[in-house]
Chains A and B, each alone.
Chain A
Amino acid sequence: MKTFLTTTALVALGLAAPALAEIRIGASISATGPAAFLGDPELKTLEMLVEELNAKGGINGEEIVLVAYDDNGDPNKARTFATRLVEDDEVVAIIGGTTTGTTMSILAVAEDAEIPFISLAGAIDIIDPVKPFTFKTPHTDRMACQKIFEDMQKNAITKIGMISGTDGFGASMQAQCKAVAPDYGIEIVADETYDPKDADMTAQLTKIKGTEGVQAVLNPGFGQGPSIVTRNYKQLDVGLPFYQSHGVASDGFIELAGAEAAEGVRLPGTALLVAGLLAADDPQKPVVDAYKAAFEEKTGTPVGTFGGYAHDAFLILTDAIARAGEAEPAAIRDAIEATTGLAGTTGVYSFTAEDHLGLDLSAFRMLEIKGGQWTLVE
């Protein structure tokens, strides 16, 4: 009987009747749990943008209502929340899926219900093969590999060592890098892994250092692992060019690794990290500057790539709703697919029926850390 009481309580909570002239947008984000460092800025960004847009009068005069849930990075919870957003909250679109696992869970629900869904996770599987209602804003890990290999090619590097995290991000990027390496004439001569919770990676790095012919080292991974790898790399005085992934493209990485150890580290990042260095005529400059200023004023913390993913998802969605002229899921989906040349913080988006990512390699900027600051590599 207690169950009934609780269910009734749920009913009371869930049945706040939607007022007229409002557009309900759903989000399932990992604001707490192991992926919190991604999800927390994402949620803050969405809340901030909704407030901003409503202050300006909403979309076509209709107010935006954000229904956001925290899925703790648990795919099972994400699926439950996605079901709740679709069935109970009756949203017209969903943003979210901080991690690939949660995204895949939400994706199944969104596709079933034919609700447009914009994911904030990296893996290529999300949009390849293309699913009609699913889009995503971050570059794929395959593109990060390609950008890094392009830079290596320019520097005549052909033999590299890899040290990858065994978490979802590291594992997926490791596989993608191995797949595209031959296209750039690059041979992976050492391939090591570490657990994201490891406190020391000296052993793996020593092995890479001792491998014949290694010319550079690449570290796909995110979270604290890459910071430790970077410190160990400096301690061992490996001395070879060192590449990190877009997974650590935030000021937090330089802080954790220390400016001295991070000196000379290269990685593919977004325009957001080098906002001050962008050319005046850069199409991304206005949107990057505006987001950076607003986010830093609102939260008092520096902007990062991940909050930028949420910013772009919201931008794409609201732009599509405005163009569609009506907040109907099918119309919004068609409008998203018709997006062309929309400048976000991550890159300039142009979607097509075959491409639900909408970015190319030019969206990535090759960055190098010099004196504890991000600089652009020409």
Chain B
Amino acid sequence: MRLTVKSATLLGLVALIALAPLFFPSGFYYRVGALIFVNGLAVTGIVILTGWAGQISLGHAGFAGIGAYACALAPVHWGLHPALAVVLGAGVSAVLAWLVGRPILRLKGYYLAVASLGMGILISMVLNNERALTRGPDGIEVAELGLRAVLKDAGLELSNGQFWYFLCGLVLLAGAWLALNLHDSPTGRALRALHGSEVAARTVGMDVARLKLQAFVISAVYASVSGSLLALQNKFITPDVAGFMHSVEMVTMAVLGGVGSVFGAIFGAAVLTLLPQVLTVFAEYEQLVLGAVMVLVMIFLREGVVPSILRKIRGGGE
């Protein structure tokens, strides 16, 4: 019996999240794991948008910024529970993505890349300059989620690192599961069809603009939730989270691992999150190594690391 891509990906993720801690020599690795999962979640959104619908966004960090600052501001100003602030951030991101995407995605081509680039920069500027609200470039403290204390009362005592590792892992798992369900749904098929040929998709009666818009909104929610998780975990957030480089990082992770595959994208997130930790010894050459890795992957493994390797393995068997 052959496993479907969906069950193989989910099983792989579950095994990874559950078993990896057995190999952790210290609490620090929980932190790295949690970061990988947070980045993996954002990158899963990129897979839906870029890998399946074929649209490119260079402003997704803006949505992460909205998610992060929702968690920083809503509990203080409106007395909202941080968990609800995550939902609020996701809602605001979705509405904004809809407003930006609706006029832009009627056009054919790469207009979304430019529009989202501008949008991301605007969000970052607002976070930097609206000092009365966001406290500006020095950043702002974020309220405690409080879930860890609840778990402790229920008899499950986790260290801070462990708690965020498993929470982020579970959210990533849920995110990957939803994305993989979408992949096999009529909407997912339609998205992949329009990626293949927009003209053909239109000819068979698909509402191309609406489909692209759906993908953009969904991926914005993924980015927003990842930003929220980062803010709640760090308990402190600066406008850097919405910066242009963070947007580029998300796209790079997806492309490196394989933008058409959820598992591949999460793998890309893992590599690019781990590299700076492995490369601390030659921190000065970190950018150089990253660049070289990207160039080599683009030349030799054009679909991204995971899909290319899988193809090679299958190609040998078939």
Contacts and interface: CB of A to CB of B under 8 A. Distances in A.
Contacts of B137: 101, 166-168, 171
A270 to B, nearest CB: 22
A6 B26 contact: no
Contacts, number: 115
A16 B284 CA distance: 22
Interface string B181-212: 00000000000000000000000000000000
A104 B141 CA distance: 8
Interface in B233-250: 234-238, 240-241
A168 B136 contact: yes
Contacts of A75: 139, 234, 236-238, 240
Contacts of B16: 3
B271 interface: yes
Contact of B138 (A32, A70, A77, A171): A171
B236 A108 contact: yes
Given A6-B271, A108-B235, A101 B283 contact: no
Contacts of A69: 280, 283
Interface of B is mostly: helix
Contacts of B20: 3-4, 7
Interface in B8-52: 16, 20, 23-29, 31-32, 35-36
Given A4-B20, A31-B283, A104 B26 contact: no
Interface residues of A, number: 41
Interface in A1-21: 2-4, 6-11, 13-15
Interface string A91-103: 0000000001100
B23 A11 contact: yes
14 contacts: A6-B278, A10-B29, A32-B283, A32-B284, A80-B32, A80-B277, A88-B27, A104-B138, A104-B236, A108-B236, A112-B160, A123-B138, A125-B138, A171-B138
Contacts of B271: 2, 6
Contacts of A14: 25-26, 28
Contact of A3 (B160, B238, B270, B276): B270
B131 interface: yes
B7 interface: no
A101 B26 contact: no
Interface in A201-228: none
Contacts of A123: 138
A259 B20 CA distance: 60
Contacts of A31: 283
Nearest to B160: A112
Interface string B264-288: 0001001100101110110110000
Contacts of B128: 166
A272 B136 CA distance: 31
Contact of A87 (B26, B136, B238, B270): B26
A96 B29 CA distance: 22
B42 to A, nearest CB: 13
Contacts of B251: none
A166 B129 contact: yes
Interface of A is mostly: helix
A2 B293 CA distance: 15
Interface in A124-177: 125, 166-168, 171-172, 175
A74 interface: yes
Interface residues of B, number: 42
Contact of B139 (A2, A8, A83, A104): A104
B91 interface: no
- Residue from the set A11, A15, A32, A87 with the largest chain B CB neighbour count within 10 Å: A87
B186 to A, nearest CB: 33
Contact of B274 (A10, A108, A125, A172): A10
B160 A76 contact: no
Given A2-B271, A88-B26, 20 more contacts: A4-B20, A6-B271, A6-B274, A7-B24, A10-B277, A13-B278, A14-B26, A69-B280, A75-B240, A80-B32, A87-B26, A87-B161, A88-B29, A101-B137, A101-B238, A104-B236, A166-B137, A167-B137, A172-B136, A172-B138
A292 interface: no
A167 to B, nearest CB: 6
B230 interface: yes
Contacts of A13: 278, 281
A84 interface: yes
B138 A100 contact: yes
A34 B301 CA distance: 33
A212 B281 CA distance: 57
A76 B284 contact: no
Contacts of A104: 138-139, 141, 236
B280 A74 contact: no
B27 A87 contact: yes
Contacts of A101: 137-139, 238, 240
A281 B263 CA distance: 68
B277 A11 contact: no
A231 interface: no
